[in-house]
Chain A
């Protein structure tokens, strides 16, 4: 069963987020750090824009031939001694992994960071079947301790401040001296590492996601900054890669191009600290590696997006740049979106995966400022795709009645220019009279969403068109 969604309560979620001072403080960091670093990285690489175009074309090419690439990839994985499992739904994906684990008597499963495993609800599925799922990425580890979902696709604990993490570690790691120094990020990382070390060694199965799957070689690629992914996939006897079907790229050469835009767009690094490629299980003369190598390819609604208005969304390489630059994300953070994927990419993807009836708020809660699209490394037209969701909602009469009604009245007048000129001028003259002394209104009927928070400037008087006509203006 995939993760429960609170997307229908987006407004309430946002309300809580806006009043959560600790969260607001943490979100300040997103606004600062990510944006600046990406801008510097982009400016320092003359061919960055060309690389973006290339990345976009490459992803389009793969999506146009995804059946061929899936087939080629599967062949190569098999040839390398691995196994490929196809899962149509979250439930199937979890079942495959649970069955694999049970058949091997696994008790403990370590995990690298993987958004698709969040999507399918893998940890809960493993735990329901009596196995421990242990997150090994620092951010994931922290939120797992807190029983939270990631609030960002590359920085899962970005909603927390250092003090919050310190407090959590002191709460949970009670076997350590209470007076230890945890003031530096490095000391927090070191403590988590020390604790995770034993978990790595005791792990029966290592699960990682994949940033890319290379069809040419049957290789899966992950990038991390902590190296936890390597230990996750090398130490246990079984390595399971769980990835959604659109992660494919044709060749290793393409991978290098994609990795260059990914790291710069995500964290502003030239390259992530660790880039790990794995192809099949350990070979006879390999010094280490798993005995078994499995890939679980998850569809979970993606193939339904192929050939639709939303296909462009499948180009996404999960860099997080869109949310890093989103004023709505900056205001409310990732949890408010109510499902696995937040920010602009979530506003498009979530309705595709769980239904626009549940996630309808997300594509509506955007100013269409366009900053997300301007930084998306693969040129996904995010505002346009959000608008497509609004169109679907409108067609299906899912938009709130008040919105449809208001829009209907407005459109009635707007479609009748002469009637509009007459009535609007009258209305504005009245409104101007009412607002004359202050120049603005502190309250207006039907405009509470506006006047609860800011004043509404009063009109000057008669409309431009009425004045123009009076002055004998043209037509």
Chain B
């Protein structure tokens, strides 16, 4: 689909909030709306649930297809579908076409839908050419590359480039930033002990980086890392990268008590 071929007017983006942001951290959704609007998009939020990834990765194709169909119809009228998660965006981009590959009635539609779907930060930089923000956040931060964002959606430099434009922010790289945090969706619960070993290693690298703030682009990973750091008694503040880029950091960090509580 081509933007120039469409009717004139602002680019209409359907925000795919993702179920974790919807349920646990709406502030990330509002940060995404703010960034998208600043980049010149008109944002709509169709009624939605989940991209279907938990079913898909559990081998349950029928439910995954049903959920994918729901998403495709809910977002039918937009130019782009954008998610503040490389994992959910990757599910739609790479796995919807695969879910409907042998369905002649739906495969073309799934492919077209997939092509319109983007991860938030890379959409801002690569599609909207949004290359700097005008907020300040005078903290040392370290950034974790979530796996699907990195390996399925090619998100690596984009968040770092945008973070560099945040006034006062200093980015320090941790060792093995591109190694899995051990979340893996249901894996974290089904194989909790192994997941814990992996996130412990990640926490070691985060702590060694010496930054008081940890950022990433996927709430699942963030909750996993925040949960581990909190269990270890660390004071590291954990946030979605969109919150910092949007200058919306008044909400307490992930896993921290609300102010005045």
Contacts and interface: CB of A to CB of B under 8 A. Distances in A.
Interface of A: 11, 14-15, 18, 327-328, 330-332, 364-371, 373-374, 384, 387, 389-395, 399, 403, 407, 410-411, 413-418, 420-421, 424, 428, 436-440, 442, 447-450, 452-465, 467-468, 473-475
A365 B184 CA distance: 9
Interface string B17-60: 10101111111011000000000000111111110101111111
A417 B73 CA distance: 12
B227 A455 contact: yes
A440 B225 CA distance: 13
20 contacts: A14-B193, A18-B193, A332-B194, A364-B190, A371-B151, A390-B58, A414-B19, A414-B63, A417-B74, A439-B255, A440-B227, A449-B192, A450-B189, A454-B196, A457-B230, A459-B23, A464-B22, A464-B29, A468-B45, A475-B44
B194 A439 contact: no
Given A327-B198, A467-B26, A439 B252 contact: yes
A458 B194 contact: no
Contacts of A453: 192-193, 195-196, 199, 228, 231
B40 to A, nearest CB: 17
Residue among B23, B224, B257 with max Cβ neighbours from chain A (10 Å): B23
Contacts of A454: 196, 199, 224, 227-228, 230-231
Contact of B184 (A367, A407, A413, A437): A367
B183 interface: yes
Interface string B65-87: 01100100010000000000000
Secondary structure class of chain B's binding surface, majority of residues: helix
Contact of B191 (A437, A440, A449): A449
B47 A439 contact: no
B189 A447 contact: yes
B230 A455 contact: yes
A176 B59 CA distance: 57
Q: Say whether chain A's binding surface is mostly helix, strand, loop, or mixed.
A: helix
Contacts of B29: 464, 468
A428 B20 CA distance: 11
B159 interface: no
B189 A449 contact: yes
Given A367-B183, A407-B63, A448 B192 contact: yes
Interface size class of B (residues with CB under 8 A): 35 or more
Contacts of B63: 407, 411, 414-415
A36 to B, nearest CB: 11
B197 interface: yes
Given A331-B194, A452-B192, A474 B44 contact: yes
A35 to B, nearest CB: 9
A407 B55 CA distance: 7
Contacts of B196: 452-454
B245 interface: no
B206 interface: no
Contacts of A475: 44-47
Contacts of A457: 24, 223, 226-227, 230, 254-255
B167 interface: no
Given A407-B63, A468-B45, A475-B45, A390 B25 contact: no
Nearest to A365: B191
Given A407-B55, A453-B228, A331 B198 contact: yes
B184 A366 contact: yes
Most chain A CB neighbours (cut-off 10 Å) among B50, B183, B227: B227
A256 B49 CA distance: 52
A399 B61 CA distance: 14
Contact of B187 (A366, A452, A459, A467): A366
A465 B47 CA distance: 7
Given A411-B55, A436-B258, A449-B190, 8 more contacts: A332-B194, A332-B197, A394-B61, A407-B60, A415-B63, A428-B24, A454-B196, A457-B226
